[in-house]
A = this chain, B = another copy of it.
């Protein structure tokens, strides 16, 4: 392989950017993570590379930009095939992609609702959030990882959101571990991997970020 230039437009708290960092690390791809100042001013490179959404993460591979994190994961899988993150069987692949999309549509949205809500709405958001985690727990079953014995695509798509759990717990007044112990055992297992440990921020830092976001949104 000729020398590859891989740059990730990044933000430490973005679970979507974490996905790309974990996948690149699992593939053994060297990359440069460039921190974007989302609140102070986004870089020209970000605005030019993702003109539609102007969001991180953007993966720049030899100058070619790829946006939207699940799309980036699929791209990484195709551009750097070894080791594979998705199973060989087309149906198993489709199942992992379905649940990765569920993480975006349900887990992420419900987790945000918990810390964006006030008063009675918090309880409804909490119930929705726990339901989403329990659904994922059902997919996991008794397996070590979503795909079975091997850490893969759906693990990578899901694990970053656990770094936001502390913030949801603090504002929701609950513990995910008490509700979903199997899911949290999976999360600990994933956290032992270097790729995950390197990509996920300290949940306390995410909690502080959420405190700031709540002030910005006028929730405090």
Contacts and interface: CB of A to CB of B under 8 A. Distances in A.
A190 interface: no
A98 B71 contact: yes
State the copy count for this chain.
2
Contacts of A94: 66, 71-72, 74-75, 78
A79 interface: yes
A78 to B, nearest CB: 4
B101 A78 contact: no
Contacts of A61: 91
Interface residues of A, number: 22
A68 interface: yes
A64 B98 CA distance: 13
A71 B101 contact: yes
B90 A52 contact: no
Interface string A73-96: 011001100000000001101110
Which residue, of A64, A94, A95, has the highest number of chain B Cβ atoms within 10 A?
Answer: A94
Interface string A25-65: 00000000000000000000000000010000000010010
